Structure 1
Amino acid sequence: MRAVVVMGVAGCGKSTVGAAICNRTGARMIEGDAFHPQSNIRKMSAGIPLDDADRAGWLARLGEELASTVATGDTAVLACSALKRRYRDTLRAAAPDVGFVYLALTPTEAAERVSHRPGHFMPATLIESQFRDLETPTGEPRVLTVNATDPWPSIVDAVLAWWR
């Protein structure tokens, strides 16, 4: 696999785990939140959940970024919620050999983490909608599920052992 998507609901640690993987491997970090159009950020900031139409262009852009990174011979780590199977399939279509690391977390823990995250546009009030949209990647190809409450170094070790 030349690319891995670190996925899950807000607050599960996608960016932290993704950055740690990149630090250990030299892979290129793609921060999914940085690719949201302003309309999505405004919507989330106002406490309005994104819908499939809001996410479509964002996911297509992330797929392009994955594909271009892999095409240059680099390895990519994408931090992206990828909540639904069809979202993951969009990313798989762009980078067919991509793997997914699902950071599993309870709604209570996610809300707690998000409520203590300063300066982020995603309010804790949207956690419920994230879990409503979440289709866990059970039975999908190239997926590793880890407990997001495990210590970050342990998660990264597990990801790297699986990825290699």
Structure 2
Amino acid sequence: MTADRTHAAAGPRMVVVMGVSGSGKSTFGAALADAMGASFLDADDLHPPANRGKMAAGIALDDSDRGGWLDAVALWMADRIEQGASGVVACSALRRSYRERLRAAGPGVRFVYLAVPRAELARRMRARRHFMPVTLLDSQLATLEPPAQDEHACLVDGAAPVPDALARVLSWLAAAG
């Protein structure tokens, strides 16, 4: 089945690719958006300067720091849902409460969780230029609440080749209707 037929058969979709920093959200999310013919947003682009500054200084964000940011991400999603357009968002969405906030953007929001072993996450973070330092990895892992079974998220091996992960997610989306 081609991505176009998957998209056309299922109608517009909003997918949040989630996981800790270094899990490959942006890379995978952009590839998924391309395969779906959807808009792509890297939620990091919506962080206010204060959040970026804190993270760059090695200070972990707390719930109050993330509130306005999550609202901005949800607004981007809601705008596309209202237009009947598909979208893919790369967003950490570490806690269930954050995911619930994003789900409120509209019906049919789906989550794809990229799970990656800690050692691989650290390696990836050291190898890239990003405002999030590797020193914050442990705080992200401590905050992470993997999606529960009732959240109907798709668990993906974030260390798998992107084409394999894409095939899995596109199949899951087609089955989810």
Query: What TM-score do the two structures reach when normalised by structure 1?
Result: 0.96
SS at match of 2:74: helix
The range that moved more, 16-25 or 51-60, is 16-25
Q: How many angstroms does 1:49 deviate by?
A: 0.4
SS at match of 1:78: strand
- For 1:83 and 1:73, the matched residues in 2 are separated by 27
Show the counterpart of 1:88. Answer: 99
On the 8 A contact 1:6/1:18 being kept in 2, the answer is yes
CA RMSD of aligned residues (A): 1.0
- For 1:111 and 1:96, the matched residues in 2 are separated by 35
Q: Does 1:2 align with 2:13?
A: yes
Show the counterpart of 2:171. Answer: 161
Runs of 4+ in 1 over 2 A off after TM superposition: none
Q: Does 1:134 align with 2:129?
A: no
Show the counterpart of 1:77. Answer: 88
Counterpart pick for 1:11 among 22, 30, 33: 22
Report % sequence identity.
47
On the 8 A contact 1:144/1:159 being kept in 2, the answer is yes
Q: Which runs of 5+ in 1 are unaligned?
A: none
- For 1:11 and 1:124, the matched residues in 2 are separated by 9
SS at match of 1:103: strand
Letter of the structure 2 residue corresponding to residue 127 of structure 1? L
- For 2:171 and 2:23, the matched residues in 1 are separated by 20
SS at match of 1:94: coil
Query: What TM-score do the two structures reach when normalised by structure 2?
Result: 0.89
SS at match of 1:140: helix
Question: Which structure has the larger Rg over C-alpha atoms?
Answer: 2
The equivalences for 1:22-101 within 5 A come to 22-101=33-112
SS at match of 2:114: strand
Show the counterpart of 2:8. Answer: none
- For 1:107 and 1:48, the matched residues in 2 are separated by 19
Q: How many angstroms does 1:163 deviate by?
A: 0.9
- For 2:151 and 2:112, the matched residues in 1 are separated by 11
User: 1:116-138 CA distances to partner (integer Å, 9 max, x unpaired)?
Assistant: 012x1011110000000000102
Q: How many angstroms does 1:96 deviate by?
A: 3.0
The equivalences for 1:137-148 within 5 A come to 137-148=147-158
SS at match of 2:151: coil
Q: Which runs of 5+ in 2 are unaligned?
A: 1-11
User: 1:8-57 CA distances to partner (integer Å, 9 max, x unpaired)?
Assistant: 00000000111101111210001100000000000000000000000010
